Amino acid sequence: MRVDLLGIPFDGGSSYLRGSALAPKAIRDSLWPEWGNSYCEVGLDLKERLHVLGDLELDIGRELESIEEKIFDSLHLKSKLIMLGGDHSITYPILRAYKRSGCSFDVLQIDAHPDLYDSFQGTRYSHASPFARIMEESLASSLTQVGIRTLNLHQREQSLRYGVRTIEMMEWSPMTEIHFKNPVYVSIDLDALDPAFAPGVSHPEPGGFTVREVISIIQKINVPIVGADVVELNPTVDTSNATALVAAKIVKELAGAMLSK
Ligand code: MN
Ligand code: MN
């Protein structure tokens, strides 16, 4: 088994700043720094097991449809996928592809925001709404969100409506146990991290996770991981490449978890 790393350079779903389309390259460039080695924490040499592929070519004007088609074509038994966003709107077409392939899975979303708007700024397909679409279409068997610290009344209602397990940041502690019944797809929005650790995002929200806490949540997942995405790095507002390095570290530990469970 190996993990394939696929870039999805799409930021057309962003409601505020563009720039996350530049993220896949920035993360790839930070994967193997000259000062480090190629092992992840659980003891696997990722130079052999993590295949760094390039960016998907998306059809202009039908980007979400082409993400679904190309991810569907990339799903096969010999590898698991980690997708590099891009903004969070990409998770909806990705999960349509997983569902269409016959996969059944729970979803863990690590994010400052629930992304459950029925519609936002006149669209139902921006990065503010992917998890509303995912739950409407029953793409996931269950959705657990952790790190949330921006719930408004509408999104609280949406969370109840779709039966989402929303673990707000104010109630989370390192002792919080998150168990899954099915294999899990992990979607990591880098704004879940505190801006002290990940300043290079379009919607920084103080009061978030440390890098260690996010890695620990990944390492404690009790079921196989079927796939994952790391989204919302915006290199145009990053400082000294710090957030790209954090994203690359999270990708490596995700790959380690995917290969060892
Ligand atoms: Mn977010
Ligand atoms: Mn998000």
N residues, the chain: 261
pLDDT digits (tens, 9 = 90+) for 91-138: 999 999 999 999 999 999 999 999 999 999 999 999 999 999 999 999
pLDDT digits (tens, 9 = 90+) for 218-260: 999 999 999 999 999 999 999 999 999 999 999 999 999 999 9
**Distance of alpha carbon 29 from alpha carbon 202, whole angstroms:** 20
Give the ligand at the shortest distance from the Cα of 91: 2
Residue 71: CATH number of its domain = 3.40.800.10
Beta bridge partners, 187, equal 109, 229
**Distance of alpha carbon 65 from alpha carbon 207, whole angstroms:** 35
Proportion of the chain above pLDDT 90, given as a percent: 98
Enter the pTM of the model: 0.98
Give the ligand at the shortest distance from the Cα of 132: 2
Question: What is the whole-number distance in angstroms between the Cα of residue 243 and the centre of ligand 2?
Answer: 16
In terms of residue numbers, what domain contains 187? Answer: 2-260
Which pLDDT does position 76 carry in this prediction? 83
Which pLDDT does position 261 carry in this prediction? 84
Give the ligand at the shortest distance from the Cα of 202: 1
Question: What is the whole-number distance in angstroms between the Cα of residue 147 and the centre of ligand 1?
Answer: 9
Q: Which helix (H) or strand (E) holds 228?
A: strand 225-231
160 Cβ neighbours under 8 A, 6+ residues apart: none
Domain count, the chain: 1
Which pLDDT does position 152 carry in this prediction? 97
Give the ligand at the shortest distance from the Cα of 205: 1
Question: What is the whole-number distance in angstroms between the Cα of residue 260 and the centre of ligand 1?
Answer: 28
Q: Is the peptide bond before 86 cis (omega within 30 degrees of 0)?
A: yes
